């Protein structure tokens, strides 16, 4: 680790010393909110797991669905969004030589808007006025303030999008004929997706506000669900794109290698951006009101997202093998032993990548029409997104923390902190294997998700689920221990670790690599293709849902 | 003592070994196997239940 730091300082000191302190403050503020959310959301996760296992009874002022909504919103939206923004803005600053002053302002405006929005939404959940689950689609109706809070969150994200687009445009103008640095390219892609993902949910929320206020009597549930999943599934791939930016750009450097191919990486990014949004339909694959032929189309549109994932699997294995062999690894798999398993900056994202093999395979099951009928709305789905988001994405985020936070805070990762990170990673992995594994199995046995009590009057089939539900609680307990260690590590590295310089571990291409072609920079074209794919997927079913609308639903409160 | 030819061919062998992606092929084969096994297993459950 030290050798490569010295080398990098010698070769290009800017790579070590580059980030503007004002930019670092932006990123650190977002990361602070992220890890406070993780702590609260993690505690709520354990509460939920214990209640579901029947080990505790919640007090009368708190209900299961309230806890479930807060857990989902804080972790799936607030934690992931604020972490991603903090991390990507740091990458943008590093790659483009600092943020423009007005871009920094956009980032701060976004920060304030998001804090206001989250405060409004969470207050309504705490007051038990918005136990509508993380998916918040109709007919469940929250208090209007909950939806208005979400509007603020979206406005905050748009402010961050605007900042990135301005900075990108400025760099492009000043660097004609050059391809954007890879980190900035990933950042641009993520924010393009953020922008188009949030259009769907914004339209949905604007129809729900007058409905929840009583100004409109009914709403079209099918359109609401469809617009939600337009956003909801794209969000999944936003996390994925953020995670693979670290796999492709930082992990190779950390293990002492080079990245695989600039061209392949950019092609993966383009495919994820273009193909992504219609994937939302596989969440509705057994919904009524969508014709069979449209569903058939959507199975293939959803499965197309597997293509860039499989390209990533190949590229990452190739990076590991090349590096391991250069380090002396022999035989078919001897190179695996040469990888730095004792370095948390590698171990955490590596486990994240391994888990994605199983998470991705589970995703293909979910997307297949008949197979979805086996697992639809069962605990399998909960297990699936805990292994994909909770390990593939979150462990990557945790791994990033061990170099990004010391770098931003001008501190060092100590061997002791590295060891703690390894322990945290092991606890997290074991906890998630127990919890997510048991969720997958019990889901196949029929245990439903989003249900507080599943004893069904002591029915024999339901009784068979109980041992697995106990395992949820065991796994959730380990995960909360993991959350506490991670939050401690983050704030220790932010404020108390020894002062010093940390490397921003950006991998270089191979010596004989061909440079990335300029056509990859044609964002206008990628956006047109994205819109064409969205039109192909959405126009027919949405028009059908509106023209042949069933009676609308009034607002419903089930709690 | 090794001849120049022998050293050259050993170097070539080492170089080939460094560039080999046999392990990658096996690894992506493992990914494919996980996908197929999981898909077939759940499809089998589906067929059992319909």
What is the per-residue pLDDT for A433? 97
Residue A552 lies in a domain: no
CA-based R_g, chain B, Å: 22
pLDDT at residue A100, rounded to an integer: 95
SS3 A130: coil
Q: Which two tokens stand for residue A450?
A: 């989003």
**What is the residue-averaged pLDDT of chain B?**
83
Rounded-to-integer distance, Cα A469 and Cα A464, Å:
10
Residue A461 near chain B (CB below 8 Å): no
Give the residue, B1 or A362, on which the prediction is more confident: A362
pLDDT of residue A13: 44
Residue with tokens 């069904």: A456
CATH assignment at residue A416: 1.20.210.10
Give domain status of residue A100, yes or no: yes
Out of A332, A365, A368, name the one closest to residue B22 (CB): A332
ipTM for the complex?
Answer: 0.90
Place of tokens 């807060």: A70
Q: In this structure, is residue A477 part of a structural domain?
A: yes
Taking each helix axis from N to C terminus, what angle separates A221-249 and A523-547, rounded to the nearest 10 degrees?
A: 160
Alpha-carbon span A407 to A420, nearest angstrom: 18
Has residue A556 been placed in a domain? no
The encoded tokens of residue A466 equal: 């109980």
Cβ contacts of residue A443 below 8 Å, gap of 6+? A375, A378, A379, A380, A381, A382, A383, A449
Q: Is residue A367 part of a domain?
A: yes
| Residue span of the structural domain in which A361 resides | 2-547
Choose from B17, B20, B29, B31 for mutation: most chain A CBs within 10 A. B31
Which residue do the tokens 């934690």 mark? A79
Q: Give A105: exposed, middle or buried? Use CB within 10 Å, 0-12, 13-18, 19+.
A: middle
SS3 A1: coil
What confidence score (pLDDT) does residue B1 get?
A: 52
Mean pLDDT, 10 residues at a time, over chain A (559 residues)? 50 53 94 98 95 92 95 96 97 94 97 98 96 94 97 98 97 94 96 96 96 96 95 93 97 95 95 90 88 89 92 96 94 95 98 97 94 95 96 98 96 97 98 97 96 91 95 97 98 96 92 89 96 93 93 93
- Find chain B residues with C-beta within 8 A of A375's C-beta: 42
From chain A residues 340-369, the ones with a CB under 8 A of any chain B CB are 357-358, 360-362, 364-365, 368
The reply to whether A312 falls in a domain is yes
Is residue A260 a contact partner of residue A248, using CB atoms and an 8 Å limit? yes
Q: Residues A125-160: pLDDT tens digits?
A: 999 999 999 999 999 999 999 999 999 999 999 999
Residue A184: the pLDDT is 96
Q: What does the DSSP assignment read for A22-50?
A: HHHHHHHHHHHHHHHHHHHHHHHHHHHHH
Number of domains in chain A: 1
Residue A349 near residue A399, CB atoms below 8 Å? yes
Cβ(A541)–Cβ(A290) below 8 Å: yes
Residue B27 at interface with chain A, using a CB cutoff of 8 Å: yes
CB A139 within 8 A of CB A555: yes
CB A410 within 8 A of CB A499: yes
- Encoding tokens for residue B39? 């898909």
- Tell me the per-residue pLDDT of B3-48, one tens digit each, with 9 for 90 and over: 666 666 655 555 667 789 999 999 999 999 999 999 999 999 999 9
| CB contact B18 to A (< 8 Å) | yes
A559 falls within a domain: no
Domain extents in chain B: 22-50
């Amino acid at each position: 680790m030290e050798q490569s730091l010295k080398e990098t300082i010698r070769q290009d000191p800017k790579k070590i010393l580059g980030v503007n302190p004002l930019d670092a403050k932006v990123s650190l503020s977002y990361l602070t909110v992220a890890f406070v959310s993780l702590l609260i959301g993690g505690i709520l996760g354990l509460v939920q797991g214990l209640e579901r296992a029947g080990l505790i009874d919640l007090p009368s002022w708190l209900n299961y669905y309230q806890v479930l909504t807060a857990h989902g919103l804080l972790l799936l939206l607030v934690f992931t969004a604020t972490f991603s923004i903090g991390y990507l803005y740091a990458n943008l600053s590093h790659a483009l030589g600092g943020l423009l002053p007005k871009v920094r302002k956009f980032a701060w405006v976004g920060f304030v808007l998001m804090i206001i929005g989250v405060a409004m939404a969470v207050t309504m959940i705490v007051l038990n006025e918005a136990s509508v689950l993380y998916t918040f689609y109709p007919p469940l109706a929250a208090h209007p303030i909950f939806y208005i809070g979400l509007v603020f969150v979206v406005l905050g994200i748009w402010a961050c999008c605007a900042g990135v687009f301005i900075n990108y445009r400025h760099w492009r103008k000043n660097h004609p004929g050059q391809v954007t640095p890879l980190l900035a390219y990933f950042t641009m892609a993520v924010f393009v997706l953020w922008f188009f993902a949030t259009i769907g949910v914004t339209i949905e929320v604007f129809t729900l506000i007058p409905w929840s206020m009583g100004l409109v009597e009914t709403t079209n549930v099918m359109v609401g669900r469809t617009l939600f999943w337009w956003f909801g599934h794209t969000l999944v791939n936003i996390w994925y794109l953020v995670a693979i930016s670290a796999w492709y750009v930082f992990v190779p450097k950390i293990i002492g290698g080079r990245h695989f191919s600039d061209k392949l990486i950019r092609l993966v990014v383009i495919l994820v951006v273009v193909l992504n949004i219609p994937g939302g339909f596989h969440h509705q694959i057994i919904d009524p009101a969508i014709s069979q032929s449209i569903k058939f189309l959507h199975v293939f549109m959803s499965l197309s997202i597997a293509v860039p994932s499989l390209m990533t699997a190949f590229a990452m294995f190739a990076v590991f093998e090349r590096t391991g062999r250069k380090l002396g690894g022999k035989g078919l798999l001897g190179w695996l032993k040469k990888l730095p398993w004792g370095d948390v900056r590698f171990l955490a994202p590596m486990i994240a990548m391994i888990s994605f093999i199983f998470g991705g395979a589970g995703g293909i099951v979910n997307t297949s029409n008949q197979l979805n009928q086996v697992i639809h709305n069962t605990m399998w789905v909960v297990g699936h997104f805990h292994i994909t988001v909770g390990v593939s994405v979150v462990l990557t985020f945790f791994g990033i923390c061990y170099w990004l936070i010391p770098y931003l805070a001008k501190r060092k990762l100590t061997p002791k902190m590295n060891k703690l990170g390894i322990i945290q990673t092991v606890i997290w992995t074991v906890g998630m294997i127990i919890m997510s594994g048991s969720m997958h199995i019990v889901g196949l046995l029929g245990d439903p998700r989003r249900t507080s009590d599943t004893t069904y009057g002591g029915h024999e089939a339901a009784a068979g689920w109980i041992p697995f539900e106990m395992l949820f609680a065991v796994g959730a307990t380990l995960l909360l221990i993991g959350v506490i260690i991670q939050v401690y590590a983050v704030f220790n590295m932010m404020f108390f670790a020894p002062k010093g310089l940390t490397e921003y571990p950006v991998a270089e291409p191979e010596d004989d690599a061909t440079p990335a072609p300029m056509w990859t920079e044609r964002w206008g074209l990628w956006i047109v293709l994205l819109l064409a794919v969205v039109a192909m997927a959405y126009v027919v079913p949405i028009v059908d849902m509106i023209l042949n609308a069933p009676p609308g639903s009034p607002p419903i409160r089930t709690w | 003592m090794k001849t120049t030819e022998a050293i050259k061919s050993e170097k070539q062998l080492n170089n080939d070994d460094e560039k080999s992606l046999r392990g990658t092929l096996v690894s992506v084969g493992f990914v494919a196997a996980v996908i197929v096994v999981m898909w077939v297993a759940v499809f089998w459950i589906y067929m059992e239940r319909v």
